[in-house]
């Protein structure tokens, strides 16, 4: 472990004034990273709303960091390890914020007309649009489970961010990613088997 990281761990594991100073310093760093990250993502937040979100992310990251402090092994600098927590908190909070601007009913709709836009089909190419929609819809109908279908439709057709689904469905990012990963693989196998795509790419 490098010296600076060891100092962080020592300060945060200690007691009294040294620990308080370490906590305050770390919190300031986390808030700064959170503010920059929210800006970087063009989330539309500004002013007090941005400050509030950044402080909430920093507060929650602090709790996670202190709870896992004894698992830090010095594989990276301490600050890099700590920043990861606050970046993930920003993702989570932005995902939750999505539902303030979009109705949850979006999860119950299947608008297949949006599919061509998702893959850049020329709006004038009606026959090709129809072929693409028909092929993917058939693959979805015939190969996906209800759960996979719901997630695929939400993410691909309705453009719901994955982290927004996490907060809405009370699951985690990995579980949703895995379900969509399996859905992508199944759909592609179907499209290859039915001559829409080639095994090595079209």
Partner 1 sequence: MTVMNSWAALDRFLRTDPADVGCEQAMEILHVYVELVAADQDAARRYLGVAAHLAACGPCGEDFRGLLAAVIED
Query: b/e for 105-137, b at 16 or more Cβ within 10 A?
Result: ebbeeeeeeebbeeeebeeeeeeebeebbebbe
- From 21, 25, 28, 41, residue interacting with partner 1 (rule: CB under 8 A): 41
Residues 165, 154: contact at Cβ < 8 Å?
A: yes
Residue 197 binds partner 1 (CB under 8 A): yes
Q: Does 136 bind partner 1 (CB under 8 A)?
A: yes
Q: Which of 52, 142, 178, 193 contacts partner 1 by CB under 8 A?
A: 178
Q: Are 165 and 176 a contacting pair, CB within 8 Å?
A: yes
Site string for partner 1, 19-38 (x = CB under 8 A): --------------x--xx-
Stretch that binds partner 1, among 9-17, 20-28, 54-62, 170-178 (CB under 8 A): 170-178
Contacts with 83 (C-beta within 8 Å, 6 or more apart), sequence order: 29, 30, 33
Closest CA to 180 of 157, 158, 147: 147
Does 201 contact partner 1 by CB under 8 A?
A: yes
Q: Which residues sit at the interface with partner 1, rule CB under 8 A?
A: 33, 36-37, 40-41, 75-77, 79-81, 83-84, 87-88, 90-91, 116, 119-122, 125, 128, 132, 136, 156, 161-163, 172-174, 177-178, 181, 184-185, 187-188, 191, 196-197, 201-202
């Amino acid at each position: 472990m490098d010296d600076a990281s060891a100092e962080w761990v020592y300060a945060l594991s200690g007691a009294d004034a040294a620990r308080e100073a370490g906590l305050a310093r770390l919190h300031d760093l986390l808030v700064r990273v959170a503010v920059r990250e929210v800006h970087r993502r063009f989330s539309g937040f500004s002013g007090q709303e941005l400050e509030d979100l950044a402080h909430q992310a920093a507060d929650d990251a602090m709790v996670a960091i202190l709870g896992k402090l004894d698992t830090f092994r010095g594989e990276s600098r301490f600050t890099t390890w700590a920043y990861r927590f606050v970046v993930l908190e920003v993702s989570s909070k932005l995902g939750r914020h999505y539902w303030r601007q979009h109705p949850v009913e979006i999860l119950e709709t299947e608008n297949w007309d949006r599919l061509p836009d998702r893959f850049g089909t020329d709006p004038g190419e009606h026959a090709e649009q129809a072929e693409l929609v028909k092929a993917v819809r058939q693959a979805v109908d015939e190969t996906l489970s209800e759960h996979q279908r719901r997630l695929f439709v939400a993410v691909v057709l309705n453009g719901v961010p994955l982290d927004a689904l996490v907060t809405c469905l009370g699951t985690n990012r990995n579980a949703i990613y895995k379900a969509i990963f399996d859905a992508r693989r199944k759909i592609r196998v179907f499209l290859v088997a039915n001559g829409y795509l080639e095994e090595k790419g079209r």
